[in-house]
């Protein structure tokens, strides 16, 4: 009887553990809260439940009951940004990250900038966003696949695969409507005109900031519409693209540097020629003055004599030097 009772006790203890532990985990895991910078989409996850969206928890909430074994997908609720830059370590992709698009005259130009945006926090829109993008994984810069709600890496993977192509397409469309020299003035130093002769250009090139502003404004106008059309709904709001810099390909930039160095040498030579001309004019004017005033010429000769000469006879090649 003692053995039977002990066996029953062991079985009862095992059953209690099997039932109690998941029950306790489910109970304590059925509460959730959000910080001020995140919003949560809650999905059912019980053993006999469906996997539909149960509720939305707004940013900065208190402890909230979300149901037994439910899952939360947390997304950023504050303004976020997506950076494209040649400064390795600052862009969304590892290493140098620049969008390369051609100008209207065929020069590949590197575009750097930052897109600022906010996730749409409307509950109905968030539900559709989670249904569409929270149920699939995206490949990150490290090659791993994550959900969009899996921290900063997962969110960056979503932006890189879904939002980045729209940004590149808009940049390509807008930059392609300008010639290289209209956006980067130094292009004029190395480009050829229709006749095949090098363009005559001044180092004082007009500012291209106005054209860059046009590109930026056009992108801000079209990007929101294109993203909504591509994603299906206005999931991202308050969009603003800041075009930081436009760069030239390395070979083109080297040609520009060489052309600028050549211009500097030409300018230096022109300055030397001008100086020689000025000195010649001064000498001619001085000689004319001496012709009109021979005494003035003698005075200048006396001023030019070395120190220590005691006797000087004009017209005589011999001078008396002081004895040592």
The radius of gyration of the chain from alpha carbons, rounded to an integer in Å, stands at: 40
Cα angle at 102 between 101 and 106, to 5 degrees?
165
Indicate the pairing of strand 137-139 with strand 145-147.
Answer: antiparallel
Distance of CA 193 to the CA centre of its chain: 31
Pairwise CA distance, residues 222 & 224, whole Å:
6
pLDDT in tens, the chain (324 residues): 555 576 666 766 665 555 555 554 554 458 899 998 999 999 998 777 788 999 999 999 999 998 888 889 999 999 999 998 876 455 555 444 788 888 888 888 889 999 999 999 999 999 999 999 999 999 987 889 999 999 999 999 999 999 999 999 999 999 988 888 888 877 776 555 444 344 444 433 446 788 888 899 999 989 999 999 999 999 999 999 999 888 876 666 565 556 555 555 555 556 666 666 777 777 777 777 767 777 766 666 666 667 666 565 655 544 444 544
Distance of CA 225 to the CA centre of its chain: 22
Pairwise CA distance, residues 217 & 211, whole Å:
10
Return the pLDDT at 18.
55
> b/e for 88-117, b at 16 or more Cβ within 10 A?
eeebbbeeebbbebebeeebebbbbbbbeb
How many angstroms separate the first and last alpha carbons of the chain? 141
Torsion-angle region of residue 85: left (phi > 0), alpha (psi -120 to 50) or beta? beta
Return the pLDDT at 294.
72
CB atoms within 10 A of CB 36: 9
- How many helices and strands (H and E) does the chain possess? 8, 11
Pairwise CA distance, residues 170 & 217, whole Å:
11
Cβ 103 vs Cβ 109: under 8 Å: yes
pTM for this prediction: 0.67
3 state DSSP class of 7: helix
Q: Residue 280 is inside which H or E element, if any? A: helix 250-292
Given the structure tokens 């037994």, which residue do they identify? 68
What proportions of the chain, in percent to the nearest 5, are helix, strand and coil?
Answer: 45, 20, 35
Measuring CA to CA, which residue among 254, 239, 207, 227 is closest to residue 113? 239
Pairwise CA distance, residues 94 & 212, whole Å:
26
- Partners of 240 in beta bridges: 116
Task: Classify burial at 141, counting beta carbons within 10 Å of its beta carbon; exposed 0-12, middle 13-18, buried 19 or more.
Answer: middle
Helix residue ranges per DSSP H, 120-249 = 123-133, 151-158, 164-175, 180-183, 209-231
- Partners of 82 in beta bridges: 115
């Amino acid at each position: 009887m003692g053995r039977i009772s002990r066996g029953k006790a062991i079985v009862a203890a095992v059953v209690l553990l099997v039932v109690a532990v998941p029950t306790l985990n489910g109970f304590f895991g059925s509460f959730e809260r959000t910080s001020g910078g995140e919003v949560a989409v809650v999905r059912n996850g019980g053993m006999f439940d469906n996997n539909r969206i149960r509720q939305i928890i707004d940013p900065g909430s208190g402890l909230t009951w979300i149901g037994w074994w439910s899952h939360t997908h947390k997304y950023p609720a504050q303004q976020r940004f997506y950076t494209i830059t040649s400064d390795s370590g600052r862009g969304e992709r590892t290493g140098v990250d620049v969008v390369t698009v051609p100008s209207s005259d065929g020069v590949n130009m590197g575009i750097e900038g930052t897109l600022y945006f906010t996730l749409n926090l409307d509950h109905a829109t968030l539900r559709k966003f989670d249904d569409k993008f929270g149920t699939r994984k995206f490949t990150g810069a490290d090659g791993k696949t994550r959900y969009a709600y899996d921290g900063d890496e997962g969110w960056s993977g979503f932006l890189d695969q879904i939002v980045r192509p729209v940004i590149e397409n808009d940049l390509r469309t807008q930059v392609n409507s300008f010639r290289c020299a209209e956006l980067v003035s130094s292009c004029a130093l190395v480009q050829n005109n229709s006749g095949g002769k090098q363009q005559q250009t001044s180092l004082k090139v007009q500012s291209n900031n106005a054209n860059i502003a046009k590109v930026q404004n056009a992108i801000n106008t079209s990007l929101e519409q294109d993203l909504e059309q591509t994603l299906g709904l206005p999931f991202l709001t308050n969009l603003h693209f800041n075009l930081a810099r436009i760069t030239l390909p390395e070979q083109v930039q080297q040609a520009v540097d060489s052309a600028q160095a050549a211009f500097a040498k030409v300018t230096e030579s022109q300055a030397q020629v001008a100086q020689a001309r000025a000195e010649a004019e001064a000498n001619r004017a001085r000689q004319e003055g001496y012709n009109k005033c021979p005494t003035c010429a003698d005075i200048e000769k006396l001023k030019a004599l070395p120190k220590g000469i005691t006797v000087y006879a004009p017209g005589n090649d011999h001078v008396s030097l002081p004895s040592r």
